[in-house]
Amino acid sequence: MLTQDRNRILFDGFVLEPLSEQQYPLRFDCGDSDLNDFFRNDVLNHERQLFTKTYCLYEYNAELEKKSPLVGLISYSNDSVRIKDFKDHEEEIPEEKRYPNIPAVKIARLAIQQDFQHLGIGSLLLNLTKLFFVTNNRTGCRLLTLDAYNDDKVVSFYMRSGFNFIHEKDKNKRNRIMFYDLTRTPV
């Protein structure tokens, strides 16, 4: 069950809280230098410019109100997908509801601390994100989107969570745009 308590989101023994300036210098290493550099050096500027909103994931013991060191980081941005780029999946959107753009939220960055990888926490954070955007939804948001590294392991990680390619035009590019239809997540 997902509980929203002020700005905190509690889920399945974990808590997600907005990143704050007090956490710097940030101790975080996911093993990927581009992502490390973004979270250590660029993210606060992105926040100030209102380009992203970043949340920190911790393991959380609700009885003791005790949280673990930082486990993961996720940044969201508003997004939209042009209906003409969504042709391969347009049967999912009823004809009378077809606007030129489909409202979406982009998972702009996602990383799990190296020591905590391969434990299912990245998948849990994707599930939490789905619930986050369908629970008490303040604006219409139909899709989650992301640019995945075009690497079999990364792509299959997202596919196991129900993400799919938007189109085939980027199949030979460094990144592939993927989406998840939030109507698949019951409120």
d(CA 3, CA 26): 26
- The stretch among 62-70, 75-83, 145-153, 163-171 that binds ligand COA (CB under 6 A) is 145-153
Pick the closer one to ligand COA by CB: 81 or 108. Answer: 108
User: Binding ligand COA by CB under 6 A: which of 134, 154, 162, 181?
Assistant: 154
Residue of 70, 104, 108, 112 that binds ligand COA (CB under 6 A): 112
Phi/psi for 85 (5° steps) reads -85, -5
Residues 25-54 that bind ligand COA (CB under 6 A): 30-32, 35
Among residues 77, 78, 157, 185, the one that binds ligand COA under rule CB under 6 A: 157
When asked if residue 141 is in the footprint of ligand COA (CB under 6 A), the reply is no
Interface with ligand COA (CB under 6 A), residue from 123, 127, 150, 185: 123
DSSP the chain: -EEEETTEEEETTEEEEE--GGGPSP----S-HHHHHIIIIIHHHHHHTTS-EEEEEEEEETTTTEEPSP-EEEEEEEEEEEGGGGGGGGGGS-GGG--SEEEEEEEEEEEE-GGGTTSSHHHHHHHHHHHHHHTT-SS---EEEEEEES-HHHHHHHHHTT-EES-STTTTSSEEEEEEEGGGS--
Applying CB under 6 A, among 149, 162, 170, 181 the residue interacting with ligand COA is 149
- Residue number, 67 or 176, with CB nearest to ligand COA: 176
The least CB distance from residue 13 to ligand COA, in Å, is: 14
Q: Interface with ligand COA by CB under 6 A: which residues?
A: 30-32, 35, 110-112, 117-123, 148-149, 153-154, 156-157
